[in-house]
Amino acid sequence: MTDKTSWGQMAEKELRGKPLKSLTWDTLEGIDVQPIYTAEDLIGLDHMGSVAGQAPYTRGVKATMYAGRPWTIRQYAGFSTAEESNAFYRQGLAAGQQGVSVAFDLATHRGYDSDHPRVVGDVGKAGVAIDSVEDMKILFDGIPLDKISVSMTMNGAVIPVLAAFIVAGEEQGVSRTALSGTIQNDILKEFMVRNTYIYPPEPSMRMVADIIEFTAAEMPKFNSISISGYHMQEAGANLVQELAYTIADGREYVRVAIARGMDVDAFAGRLSFFFAIGMNFFMESAKLRAARVLWHRVMAEFEPKNPKSSMLRTHCQTSGVSLQEQDPYNNIVRTAFEAMSAVLGGTQSLHTNSFDEAIALPTEASARIARNTQLILQEETGVTNVVDPLAGSYYVEKLTADLIDEAWDLIEEVEEMGGMTKAVASGLPKLKIEESAARRQAMIDRGEEVIVGVNKYKSKTQPDIEIRDIDNNQVRDAQVAKLKAIRASRNKVTCDGALLELGRRCEEGGNLLEAAIEAARHRATVGEISLAMEGTFGRHRAEVKTLAGIYGSAYEGDENFEAIQRSVEGFAKDEGRRPRMLVVKMGQDGHDRGAKVIATAFADIGFDVDVGPLFQTPEEAAQDAVDNDVHVVGISSQAAGHKTLAPKLIAALKVADAEEIIVVCGGVIPQQDYDYLKAAGVAAIFGPGTNIPDAAQNVLDLIRKSRGHKSS
């Protein structure tokens, strides 16, 4: 009799008639987590038996890991202006932070200068506005770039932003050879989930290769790419999807560089990865262990001679999606658990989210708590004293193996499609991630996945917390003034010449980053450099696709859900058509998880749902609403542009003589903005944690009321 058999007999007695199977946890990943693991579960596992610093690097890429050197504490931040962000970075470095991680505003991400008419609501929101080398110099004023590593989350406008950084370093007296850090430069992920792309896939991949080529030759301390699974998990990917698609993206980038004629050992050692760490504690740790094994397996096909080429090094960030507006101090606890999970998984650097980031950009006080969470982990808990303390855990080792197997199956599926570029073009990975997001949202709304303070153990009162508010108009005015000064003071002839050379290389060949550095040195702006390339490559516009049936299937047989569906059917009978909703994303915010989940859920409830294209202006959204003859427009907001964009949409509807169309908002909207939005004409606001069927009933009641019907 095995240990498991004897345990099963004892467990069945304790369960008093309930099946033993009831103790198995059916995860979103499709991995059935057993209630107990024994040595039997480790028999035949291929990844077992190695030590840290030894292939396949399951236990860590360094022999000594944190016992030799703790992970880097790196806080991701960008606050409207370069001046404010610089002050925050300096303060953080003085308080124990060890690297700088830059969040750019959405105008910068999308390659627009701050004075462009399409970014009125985006300047300085969700990150720092960078229009030129001058902004970049202010951003790093007093921060020695030869000593402090800099991570920049940038993909779409990666060429002009990296160029401005290199020139800012040179003008600070730091040569490009001494610059250390990482540029994200992961465009495939953008086409899948985050959507802050500019150019079509083919020229975008050329830019990736140009950066890998340039940095390998000129910047030996700088990581040319950070292959990101983080944004996949934030968009709804389960851990197997995040793991598989991230590794598959990495494989594609290696192939692109080799196709350029580069030797694998010339660049592979400077590739890095970026993963999200959510609340599935042990599985997240196992995910990082599995990632290292999978990357070593993938790199074997390229036959590198340097072992470092096969080592997966990663930065991690605690989950933004797990942060909740309700009972926000709970987020401190969530972040601490997620940080511990990342550390036990062997991350090389870590960002811990501030508890108020479910609502707004962090305050100095909340950022200090987040930073101190890591310092306490490093200095007080003893976790740095033992290399890979989870090694040998029956549960963790079996989870590691399960994740390796499940992720490899997905990676092979991508290979059968011809690689990740073709897979992304097909839309399949994006679709699978959106399906996962819809399933998880249904689990939360049904209470099957507990979120304390949101769908269980709710507090009757909510604490008042300080919120960082950004005056978008003030920031934009200041940036516009800077742009005018730069354009007035620069040598127009040399600047225009540099931009023409960049355009020529787009058409005829040559390294684009090298040309952009010269243009930035002559004070060409981020928007001008982006436009010079757009002249050849164009601007990419994605096809909008929506799901059906995924959310509703989770509610099959649910009486309350069926009651809402009957209410919708009743409206359709009264009106002769179904309630019709347009879901819009305005401004340059490409995070569309919330919009896509709402669209599929409302459609499954019975609404007719249209989804507008990304990056609309309020005027364009209003016209879509009129053209589609909708009853209601739902604004999805995540990047804090709602105070600017929602009133503009309402004004545009009025101009179009369509005031009868109801406007509602959902997403990351601070409570203190509610009165402002309602005064502007917003009929209802649905914050984070809103139960979607309840929201659908609320919206239906609003439509009925506006049309003179009684609420059902």
Peptide bond into 56 cis (omega under 30): yes
Q: Which residues contact 503 (CB under 8 A, 6 or more apart)?
A: 532, 533, 535, 536
| Cβ pair 344, 375 in contact under 8 A | no
d(CA 695, CA 625): 20
b vs e for 41-79, b when ≥16 Cβ sit within 10 Å of the residue's Cβ?
Answer: beeebebeeeebbeebbbbbbbeebbeeebbbbbbbbbb
| Cβ pair 370, 75 in contact under 8 A | yes
Q: Which residues contact 147 (CB under 8 A, 6 or more apart)?
A: none
d(CA 699, CA 584): 16
Which of the following is catalytic: 585, 596, 642, 648?
A: 585
Q: Where would I find the beta strands (DSSP E) of 340-478?
A: 349-351
Which of the following is catalytic: 231, 432, 482, 643?
A: 231
**Of 366, 384, 387, nearest in space to 376 by CA:** 384
Which of the following is catalytic: 57, 66, 76, 197?
A: 76
Complete DSSP assignment for 655-707 = HTT-TTSEEEEEES--GGGHHHHHHHT--EEE-TT--HHHHHHHHHHHHHHHT
Which of the following is catalytic: 113, 589, 604, 673?
A: 589
Phi, psi of 390, rounded to the nearest 5 degrees: -85, -10
Strand partners, 106: none
Phi, psi of 140, rounded to the nearest 5 degrees: -110, 20
3-class DSSP state for residue 545? coil
Q: Where would I find the beta strands (DSSP E) of 7-89?
A: 25-26, 32-33, 72-77
Which of the following is catalytic: 137, 287, 482, 591?
A: 591
Q: Pick left, alpha or beta for residue 335 (phi over 0 → left; psi -120 to 50 → alpha; otherwise beta).
A: alpha
Q: In degrees, to the nearest 5, what angle opens at C-alpha 537 toward C-alphas 533 and 540? A: 110
Counting Cβ atoms within 10 Å, is residue 491 exposed (0-12), middle (13-18) or buried (19+)? exposed
Both structure tokens of 642: 């709602």
The neighbour count for residue 4, using CB atoms within 10 Å, is: 16
Is 197 a known active-site residue? no
Complete DSSP assignment for 630-665 = -SEEEEEESSS-HHHHHHHHHHHHHHTT-TTSEEEE
d(CA 320, CA 355): 10
Is 610 a known active-site residue? no
Q: In degrees, to the nearest 5, what angle opens at C-alpha 47 toward C-alphas 44 and 53? A: 150
Is 230 a known active-site residue? yes
Is 296 a known active-site residue? no
d(CA 586, CA 584): 6
Active-site annotation, residues:
76, 230-231, 585, 589, 591
